Structure 1
Amino acid sequence: VTQILNFGSLNLDHVYTMPTIVRPGQTLPSTRYEIFAGGKGANQSVALARAGARVRHAGRVGEDGRQMVDALSQMGVDTRWIVVDSDLPTGHAIIQVEETGGENAILLFPGANHAIDDEQISTTLREAEQGTILLLQNEISRRISLLSEAKDRGLFVVFNPAPFTPDIAATDLECVDLLIVNETEAASICGASAKLDRHQANAHNHAETDPEGVPEKTLARLKEHVPQQTQRLLTLGA
């Protein structure tokens, strides 16, 4: 079975249920408080483990993240490559959720996710067998170094640039074997013109305009902006 190494974010999500989202200068009581393990990286590792994959998770947490690491391990994720940093807190999100309607507001602090360094990257990748699949998102530090070294070591590199940041559009993706993006991320890589396709398809009910063809157009445009050898997967959330 192919080994998957997910080098990704680990967050603690602090969720407050509110009568309404707090405005600047306002103080409101919360009606409920819950804490969950989160982060795009951790979520993907759990999903892979539940699907039956052999997945190792590499990342970084603070001392306050030990329970989260234990929980991931209990869900079938190999957590031996997660470093516990005694100097930094675990990345975390403060999430307000309205009781009615479900509107939310999120404050994100990267914490230990942004303390990943070249030494941790090299130490982790040395343990990976050639042909291992590396999965990477966009919530940790030293992403570009990680992409490059993983490719040099013969890993199959899968990059999901979420959440999207402007520097991704200027990043050389030569090291990426499979790029996974949604329509918004693809449009951001391609430039502003790609963002108009779906809006135009929905706004104009003309015979020549086919909303179902928008993903194909987006993929075709994406092909012009990423290396020829990089496979492209467009997710639609359907």
Structure 2
Amino acid sequence: MNKVTILGSLNVDTILRVKRFPKPGETLPLSGKSVAGGGKGANQAIAAARAGAHTTFIGKVGQDQEGDFMVKQLTDSGVAAQFVQHSSEANTGSAVIMLDSSSENRILIDGGTNQLVTAADVDLAQTVIAASDFLIAQFETPIAATMRGFELAHAANQRTILNPAPATHDVPAKLLSLTDLIVPNETETETLTGVPVTDEHSMIKAAAVFQQLGVANVIITVGSKGAFWQRGQAHGFVPAYKVNAVDTTAAGDTFIGALSSVLRPDFSNLAAAVRFANRASSLAVQKLGAQPSIPTRAAILAAERA
């Protein structure tokens, strides 16, 4: 089974259920409220661990109850958390998620201690990174820390996966040159490449831009439609499984974590790994809450057999 290290964010999510999103100046009643663990990094780590990967996390929380809660969320799912630092300089990251009756979401994030992760914090995990099949990072922690992590991974001949979310126009060319697989959604793809994603032809065009920037392998996720993949000159599209979605918050993170648990470091099974990740994501969207919805490997395999 793969060894995966995740560098990323930890947030406590407050989920507000509404029939529809309010208009400017409008007040609406809630139809429900709950609290769960979240953060793109933590979600992806828990997804990888539950899917069977030996998973280690690098990140930072506050010296508060929320920080203790998030570390417990990791360890309860089998994620090694010895490289999660506790800081008194800020509170643990948090997010407020509005979820409407059609399962669409709007998310507001307070980065908190996630914004304090440094290259020095990453250096502490150098040995683990060097022994990992994949190092995964997102953009909810500082890019300088991600750059250092990807440098360490490449120095050890290990593979890197970048989930460029939230999207930004200011991605250093060096970071992309250190990225072996990039996994954006359609919005992030347009932000990074300038190519609007509307069909498979546009996905091929966007993937070519990524490859020109130095990223050899590309996956573009397009929500309920599925995911496009490109490896070298080979490419394809894997349709999503049709389910009744309840909460799409962790869909993309579950996809990436599950993908990393079965993907070969030479990317030779990229299409099959995308199918496995699609199945995991289809299970996650059928439950409420980011981390509570993430399926286990047994659940994914059972759904595959059904």
TM-score, with structure 1 as normaliser? 0.79
Cα distance in 1 for residues equivalent to 2:24 and 2:201? 43
> Residue 205 of structure 1 corresponds to which residue in structure 2?
none
Please list every run of 5 or more consecutive structure 2 residues that lacks an aligned counterpart in the other structure: 227-306
Please tell me whether the aligned partners of residues 174 and 230 of structure 1 are also in contact (alpha carbons under 8 angstroms).
no
1:46-195 equivalences under 5 Å are 46-62=46-62, 63=64, 64-98=66-100, 100-102=101-103, 104-130=105-131, 132-141=133-142, 142=144, 143-168=146-171, 172-191=175-194, 194-195=195-196
> Residue 291 of structure 2 corresponds to which residue in structure 1?
none
Cα distance in 2 for residues equivalent to 1:96 and 1:178? 31
Please tell me whether the aligned partners of residues 83 and 124 of structure 2 are also in contact (alpha carbons under 8 angstroms).
no
Give the drift of 1:13.
Answer: 0.5
Cα distance in 2 for residues equivalent to 1:111 and 1:149? 26
Aligned length: 220
Larger strand proportion, structure 1 or 2? 1
**SS, match of residue 173 in structure 1:** helix
Specify whether residues 135 and 215 from structure 1 end up closer, same or farther in structure 2 by C-alpha distance, changes over 3 A only.
same
Specify whether residues 59 and 213 from structure 1 end up closer, same or farther in structure 2 by C-alpha distance, changes over 3 A only.
same
Give the drift of 1:88.
Answer: 1.6
Structure whose alpha-carbon radius of gyration is higher: 1
**SS, match of residue 171 in structure 2:** helix
Give the drift of 1:45.
Answer: 1.0
> Residue 43 of structure 2 corresponds to which residue in structure 1?
43
Please tell me whether the aligned partners of residues 5 and 57 of structure 1 are also in contact (alpha carbons under 8 angstroms).
yes
Give the drift of 1:129.
Answer: 3.1
Give the drift of 1:133.
Answer: 1.6
Q: CA RMSD in A?
A: 2.6
Specify whether residues 184 and 150 from structure 1 end up closer, same or farther in structure 2 by C-alpha distance, changes over 3 A only.
same
> Which structure ranks higher in relative contact order (CA pairs < 8 Å, sequence separation ≥ 6)?
2
Cα distance in 1 for residues equivalent to 2:222 and 2:104? 22
Give the drift of 1:221.
Answer: 3.5
Among 220, 225, 238, the alignment partner of 2:208 is 220
Give the drift of 1:94.
Answer: 1.6
> Residue 6 of structure 1 corresponds to which residue in structure 2?
6
More deviation in 180-189 or 20-29?
Answer: 20-29
Give the drift of 1:53.
Answer: 0.8
Cα distance in 2 for residues equivalent to 1:131 and 1:102? 35
Please tell me whether the aligned partners of residues 135 and 149 of structure 2 are also in contact (alpha carbons under 8 angstroms).
no
